[in-house]
Amino acid sequence: MSWWRTVLASRWRGIFKWFLRLLTRKCELERVCELERFGAARTCAIEKSLRLSKNPELRLYAEDPGTDVGQAVEHVLNVKQIVSQKNISFAQAFGVCLSQIASASQLLEEVEERRGVKYSEENEVHEKLLLQLWTALMPGQELQSRHTSQWGEIGFQGTNPATDFRGMGLLSLENLVYFSTEHGDVARKVLSHSHHPKLGYSFAVVGINLTSLALELLREGSLRRHLYSEASKRKIDMKQFHEVYCTLFQKFSAFWRDEEPENVMAFNAIRAKFKTHIINQLEETCQL
């Protein structure tokens, strides 16, 4: 039944598009740029239209238009037989949408690349980042040594934090450092919440897991609408991903306390519930 519904929906969509083109003398992409307001709504609608296109080349643009957006726009104009001189506003609006789609795709590539970098104790840059995290979260308190149980105070599992970064690589450390330095007061407040005698959790370990969650949301597309909405204010780049992470950490800390788990064994269940909550929030408002 599900397969038949998909087939019928696809055929109805095709008939409806044909009728609207006959009526308006404009393709779906043109109609979207005219009817949808600038921002997330328009870019998401353009992305959906490209993804559902019968033309395989246009479908690829929904994933990544590439770095030469101007060339991609010209290609679409030719495929859709749109005269750019007669519809300059469309070419400009469509180009902005493709630029945002491309930026989101490039961000995912960069995030995946950072995740793939393994933490190394032999790497001086990595070690400096780790010490920067300690200094930001525990100002005025010095580490007794590189391998010490003190790391447990900020939520690492053992005497050597390097072992905790295996799953998310350097990306998770960079997220933690960004949160702790750019939003220091908030990060230290969240750290104090993690020390609660009943509702406590391991700050750093949870932070690494939230890097995984942020990456999941980016891979699955849930974050794209938020990024497109923010693109009108600032460029979609790595800083955007860090800011999303910071927001997720703050929201998870509050969500965890509201759920009042009996112990940390409830983490996976609460994480799944939190992810659903965030996805619903993104769908409703575009904003975290």
The mean pLDDT of 257-275, rounded to a whole number, is 96
**pLDDT tens track for 153-193:** 999 999 999 999 988 999 999 999 999 999 999 999 999 99
**pLDDT tens track for 28-44:** 898 888 888 888 889 99
Tokens, residue 111: 């995030």
Coil, strand or helix at 167? coil
Rg (CA), the chain: 23
- pLDDT of 128 over the 80 cut: yes
The mean pLDDT of 187-207, rounded to a whole number, is 97
pTM to 2 decimal places: 0.88
What does the pLDDT read at residue 286?
A: 73
Helix pair 169-182, 203-220: axis angle to 10 deg: 110
Please report which confidence band the pLDDT of residue 18 belongs to, taking 50, 70 and 90 as the band edges: very low
Better-scored residue on pLDDT, 86 or 115:
115
